[in-house]
Amino acid sequence: MKTNRLGSSDLDVSAMGLGCMSLGTAEAQATAIIHEALDRGINFLDTADLYDEGRNEEIVGQAIRHRRADVILATKVGNRRIPGKEGWSWDASKGYIRSAVKESLRRLQTDYIDLYQLHGGTLEDDIEETIEAFEELKREGVIRHYGISSIRPNVIREYVQRSGIVSVMSQYSILDRRPEESILPLLGRAGISLIARGPLASGILTDHGSSKAQRAYLDYTEAELTALHEQLMSQTTLTRTLTQTALQYPLADPAVAAIIPGASSLEQLRQNIAAARSQPLSALELEAVRETSKAGRYTLHV
């Protein structure tokens, strides 16, 4: 698996990582998927303290406890659960970040996190305090680097200008090209990498994704998704599948260091790995995809 340098960090991440959110809570199955990913050259695992109320971090930690040196481990912070209450609240305070990282370390069975990410962010946050928390953790060796996971360009711009982030995680796919309109040029100039989540658009951008096009996705109608799927399928060739096109599309931008599709089965993981190892899209293929998807249906957030 090809690797790319993550921003200005010293982290070389596999071009395809594993988004762990979709692993589920069946530990044996989740562990098998993680081990298969590592065995096949994936070194970048992304989780969050929010996923399955911390259970996802526990499963990931148990799976990699004897292989920690083989893994670039990323997790997230900012969504605070209140005991006895449903849901969560947003908390980007220094005190919460410093306490939450201890719990993530415990669940992950490690004494450091390679990439610690703010899991959201608003302009109303005390951004200087949030940055100070991450910088302190970095100086103390608790985290190696930090980034932000966000779809809000105005928030991302603040962190690009004011912090030492090495990455931005954002949804990016053929069906969601917002990063092209808002942040990719900025990140490219700043030497900050994009980590593209959702490259398969909840499975719609796969060869068998026509059935999944029948459910809501962003602002697309069912008819629009079905038509787009048919158009994209018509562009596939004997040597390239739609899954390959979808996973290679974000990687065509030099600011993108990694894509992180999820996998809920070994078969799905293997299909994604095979697609990620395919040849990059040619200029003609990129042009055709962009022409097909140019009238994207999504709202730009601030």
Half-sphere exposure at residue 140, Cβ-oriented, CA atoms within 13 angstroms: 14
Residue 216: CB atoms within 10 A of its CB come to 10
Instruction: For the chain, give percent helix, strand, coil, nearest 5.
Output: 45, 20, 40
Separation CA 227–CA 246 (nearest Å): 16
Handedness of CA 138, 143, 147, 149 (dihedral sign): negative
Query: Which residue among 51, 146, 159, 220 is the active-site one?
Result: 51
What is the token pair recorded at 20? 């762990």
Known catalytic membership, residue 51: yes
With H, G, I as helix, E, B as strand and everything else as coil, classify residue 99: helix
SS3 219: coil
- Contact criterion met (CB below 8 Å) for 302 and 152: yes
The pairing of beta strand 3-5 with beta strand 12-14: antiparallel
For the chain, state the CA radius of gyration: 19
Q: Which amino acid is at 68?
A: R
CB count, 10 Å around CB of 96?
17
Give the catalytic positions in this structure: 51
